[in-house]
A = this chain, B = another copy of it.
Amino acid sequence: MNKFDSDMNLPKHVKLVEVGPRDGLQDEKKILSVTKRIEFINKLAHCGYKNIEVGSFVSKSAVPQMHHSDEVLNQLDRNTAVKYSALVPNIKGLTTALSTHVDAIAIFMAASESFSKNNTNCSIQESIQRYSEVIHIAKQHNIPVRGYLSCIFSCPYEGNIQEEIVVEHAIKLHSLGCYEIALGDTTGLGTPRKIQSLIKTLSKHIPIEKIAFHLHNTNGLAMVNIYSALCLGVATFDCSIAGLGGCPFAKNATGNVASEDLVYLLNSLEIFTGIDLNYLVETSKYICNLLEHPSNSNITNIYEQIQLQ
């Protein structure tokens, strides 16, 4: 192999999961109405997404931004090309989800014991037991289940997380029946070597097609992390329009990877996503206007400059 062909393994297509309406909006100070959330989701579908996470069935008191996710799911303009999914924390949430037109659900587990206890009020073992039941019932209703695994490199409470722990829990989610494992770099401190090492180990146990990354850009390496994952054949990534999901008001915003930035990178690599970047940038401006803060996307902020080139 010629040493100049290091990019030959890049996938030809990448599947993007837009998490702005859920992981993005749930961190926003401003609470949008059901009507506005639906308008936002319809615009995202129009961008060309095939996978949109539109809400979550958690308690209103815990996450007021996600209240009425059932109405959002039932009233949006259903595009048959799009899979609309929602986060489900427990049996109660699943019951509500099953009463809607949800296409898939997602469950959420942490690779860190302290993060699990602090954020879901149960141990990792307890969350596995809880989700086993959720997955079992979802499958009876032919609803596919996506598994999030957070804190894959480090935890805000515990610091570094051992790769073997992450691999063990990812395998567990897979064996429970999750169709895809979304590996979340919650602290946003991942690096290409950590990403590639995790992929190398995990893909011995789980088909690489089932591995997705959900990255935050805290250390500024999200794009190079994604590139290093692409080089190893990973072809599914979460992204959030305008980088929603961090704190756009804070100096060191630690949001999700901005969808526009990722689509721009993938376009430049000639990797097909099906997303219309022009309309995506417009939608980014639209949602930031509603949320009353600037976009956290490099590309949206310099888009006019790019178009002049």
Interface residues of A (CB under 8 A from B): 1, 3-4, 6-7, 9, 154, 159-160, 187, 189, 191-194, 196, 199-200, 218-221, 223-224, 226-228, 231-233, 251-252, 254, 261, 264-265, 268-270, 294, 298-299, 301-302, 305-306, 308-309
Is the Cβ of B252 less than 8 Å from the Cβ of A302? Answer: yes
* A227/B192 contact (C-beta < 8 A), A309-B154, A309-B159 known: yes
7 smallest beta-carbon distances between A and B, as pairs: A220-B298, A191-B268, A6-B231, A224-B224, A1-B1, A223-B224, A224-B227
Which residue in chain B gives the minimum CB-CB distance to A194? B268
- Which residues of chain B are near A265, meaning CB under 8 Å? 191-192, 221, 224
- Which residues of chain B are near A7, meaning CB under 8 Å? 6, 192-193, 196, 228, 231
A154 to B308 CA separation, bound complex (whole angstroms):
10
Is the Cβ of B268 less than 8 Å from the Cβ of A193? Answer: yes
Copy number of this protein in the oligomer? 2
A270 to B269 CA separation, bound complex (whole angstroms):
26
- Which residues of chain B are near A220, meaning CB under 8 Å? 223, 261, 298-299
A306 to B187 CA separation, bound complex (whole angstroms):
9
A264 to B221 CA separation, bound complex (whole angstroms):
10
A254 to B226 CA separation, bound complex (whole angstroms):
22
Nearest-neighbour CB distance to chain B for A241, whole angstroms, equals 15
Choice from B3, B192, B196, B305 contacting A232 with Cβ under 8 Å: B3
A233 to B301 CA separation, bound complex (whole angstroms):
32
* A189/B309 contact (C-beta < 8 A), A221-B223, A223-B223, A265-B224 known: yes
- Which residues of chain B are near A301, meaning CB under 8 Å? 251-252
A-B contact pairs, 16 of them (CB 8 A): A3-B232, A3-B233, A6-B7, A7-B192, A159-B308, A160-B309, A189-B309, A191-B265, A192-B265, A218-B298, A218-B305, A219-B264, A219-B299, A221-B268, A251-B294, A252-B302
Which residue in chain B gives the minimum CB-CB distance to A1? B1
Nearest-neighbour CB distance to chain B for A151, whole angstroms, equals 11
- Which residues of chain B are near A218, meaning CB under 8 Å? 298, 302, 305
Is the Cβ of B191 less than 8 Å from the Cβ of A269? Answer: yes
19 new A-B contacts at CB < 8 Å, known A4-B232, A223-B224, A252-B302: A3-B233, A4-B196, A4-B199, A6-B6, A6-B196, A6-B231, A7-B192, A7-B196, A7-B231, A189-B305, A191-B269, A218-B302, A220-B261, A220-B298, A221-B265, A223-B223, A224-B224, A227-B227, A254-B302
- Which residues of chain B are near A309, meaning CB under 8 Å? 154, 159-160, 187, 189
A2 to B301 CA separation, bound complex (whole angstroms):
39
Nearest-neighbour CB distance to chain B for A127, whole angstroms, equals 23
Which residue in chain B gives the minimum CB-CB distance to A217? B298
